[in-house]
């Protein structure tokens, strides 16, 4: 009876023994699940705050892992704990049912109750929890997700993005200790994704609910994540801060060679309205990019692809390229017969440049060489969501 289940959204209700808050607690996972066609063997721990993204190609084990955390799949052996509250321990004979894990779960498709309006769908999960255990208010969720004008509409009257926002709100109103989201934007087109991304980004900060988010879309990882766990063939390949993990050239086969590059955290310093440009400061200096719709002081992430970075031994004075960032060559790795990946340190920020081996020789590049990383302003991938965790816009 504590389980709210409606197709793609499952919000889990109260346990007899209430677990401690998952906010800022460690989740520890050491599990094995072996099947004929696919096996997972995972052993890692991480702090549950903000948004952690499980990233990897299809079949890497992302959904299997999140289902084991939720109790929808059972591991063959091992242990899963949230803080000092054990969800699963094969050696101790502990396997809490989903309704006692106090988790929220959002799947790809909303599948709201068609005979209920949006408000009734939102309140469905709340009925499964005693009022005294509600930590999140209905008005708070409605305001956060922008649902005010949708409350009297039935699902058939809502767009795909609006339905998914209601589904997310329903999961939040169970006041979960941890919200699990399994590719919740996969069934939406890009405009609807852009509509929802800002809401997801704000949830942990404004409601204090940590999120584990499953995705194989690099843009979602960059936009949303505080940290990322990269999975491959049922094992953890890497985990850490987004900027570090997605700037590693050795992970390019998993993150996408075409998109290989560096993720940079930067701050908006000014706007050039005459030329519709924005100036960004980061550890390596200043970047000019096409105009961003963010206020001065806002923190953003940008992605600079390695194939969009060229190198020069000195800053050119007669080039159309607006950005010439001083950097030091750290590593040069041949990538096939014709090209090489050059790892750069730009004031503590990692950059990647993919150039020909002929250019490496022509410039006599070796580790320790001083260069300028030439980055066309129009090639910088613009962020879709402001990361204002540490920014006060008032």
Neighbours of 368 (CB within 10 A): 8
- In angstroms, rounded to a whole number, what is the distance separating the alpha carbons of residues 204 and 98? 22
The answer to whether 175 touches 135, Cβ cutoff 8 Å, is yes
Mean pLDDT, residues 172-196: 88
For the cut 90, the answer to whether the pLDDT of residue 150 exceeds it is: yes
End-to-end CA gap in the chain:
45
Confidence grade of residue 18 (pLDDT, cut at 50, 70, 90):
very low
What is the rounded distance in angstroms from the CA atom of residue 88 to the CA atom of residue 379? 47
Cβ distance 263 to 301 under 8 Å?
A: yes
Work out the average pLDDT over 24-52: 90
Q: What is the pLDDT of residue 394?
A: 31
Is residue 124 very low, low, confident or very high in pLDDT (cuts 50, 70, 90)? Answer: confident
Provide the residue count of the chain.
Answer: 394
pLDDT band of 254, cuts 50, 70, 90: confident
At residue 130 the predicted structure's pLDDT band, cuts being 50, 70 and 90, is low
Residue 284 CA to residue 270 CA, distance in Å, equals: 17
d(CA 65, CA 176): 18
In whole angstroms, give the CA distance from residue 338 to residue 355: 9
Average pLDDT of the chain is 86
DSSP 216-274: --HHHHHHH-SEEEEEETTEEEEEEEHHHHTT-GGGHHHH-STT-EEEEEEEEEEEETT
Average pLDDT over residues 301-319: 92
Say whether pLDDT at 128 is over 80. Answer: no
Q: Indicate if the pLDDT at residue 93 is higher than 60.
A: yes
Identify the pLDDT of residue 82: 93
Which tens digits make up the pLDDT trace of 352-373?
999 999 999 999 999 999 999 9
Q: Is the pLDDT of residue 29 over 60?
A: yes
Q: Are strands 51-55 and 227-232 parallel, antiparallel or unpaired?
A: parallel
**Strand ordering across the sheet containing 85-89:** 39-48, 25-34, 77-82, 85-89, 94-95
State the pairing for strand pair 339-346/3-6. Answer: unpaired
State whether residue 336 is helix, strand or coil. Answer: coil
State the pLDDT confidence band at 393, using cuts at 50, 70 and 90.
Answer: very low
Interval 221-233 mean pLDDT: 91
Q: Tell me if the pTM is above 0.85.
A: no
Q: Which residues contact 190 (CB under 8 A, 6 or more apart)?
A: none
Q: How far is C-alpha 24 from the chain's CA centre? A: 17
């Amino acid at each position: 009876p504590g389980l709210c289940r409606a197709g793609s959204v499952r919000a889990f209700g109260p346990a007899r023994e209430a677990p401690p808050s998952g906010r800022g607690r460690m989740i520890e996972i050491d599990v094995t699940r072996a099947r004929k066609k696919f096996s997972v063997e995972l052993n890692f721990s991480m702090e549950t705050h903000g948004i952690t993204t499980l990233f990897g190609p299809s079949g890497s084990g992302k959904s299997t892992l999140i289902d084991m955390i939720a109790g929808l799949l059972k591991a063959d052996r091992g242990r899963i704990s949230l803080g000092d509250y054990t969800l699963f321990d094969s050696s101790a004979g502990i396997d809490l049912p989903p309704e006692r894990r106090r988790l929220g779960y959002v799947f790809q498709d909303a599948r709201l109750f068609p005979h209920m309006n949006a408000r009734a769908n939102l309140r469905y999960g709340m009925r499964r929890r005693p009022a005294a255990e509600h930590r999140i208010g209905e008005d708070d969720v409605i305001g956060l997700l922008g649902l005010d004008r949708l409350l009297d509409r039935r699902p058939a009257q809502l767009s795909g993005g609006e339905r998914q926002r209601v589904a997310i709100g329903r999961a939040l109103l169970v006041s979960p200790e941890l919200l699990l989201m399994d590719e919740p934007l996969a069934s939406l087109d890009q405009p609807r994704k852009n509509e929802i991304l800002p809401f997801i980004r704000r949830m942990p900060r404004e409601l204090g609910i940590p999120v584990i988010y499953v995705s194989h879309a690099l843009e979602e990882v960059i936009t949303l994540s505080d940290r990322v766990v990269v999975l491959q063939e049922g094992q953890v390949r890497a985990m850490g801060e987004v900027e570090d993990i997605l700037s590693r050239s050795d992970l390019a086969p998993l993150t996408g060679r075409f998109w290989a590059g560096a993720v940079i955290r930067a701050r908006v310093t000014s706007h050039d309205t005459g030329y519709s440009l924005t100036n960004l400061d980061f550890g390596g200096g200043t970047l000019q990019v096409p105009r961003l719709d963010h206020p001065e002081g806002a923190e953003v992430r940008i992605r600079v692809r390695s194939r969009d970075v060229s190198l020069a031994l000195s800053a050119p004075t007669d080039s159309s390229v607006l950005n010439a960032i001083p950097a030091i060559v750290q590593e040069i790795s041949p990538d096939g017969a014709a090209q090489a990946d050059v790892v750069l340190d730009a004031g503590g920020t990692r950059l990647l440049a993919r150039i020909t081996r002929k250019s490496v020789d022509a410039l006599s590049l070796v580790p320790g060489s001083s260069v300028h990383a030439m980055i066309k302003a129009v090639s910088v991938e613009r962020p879709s969501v402001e990361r204002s965790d540490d920014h006060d816009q008032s």
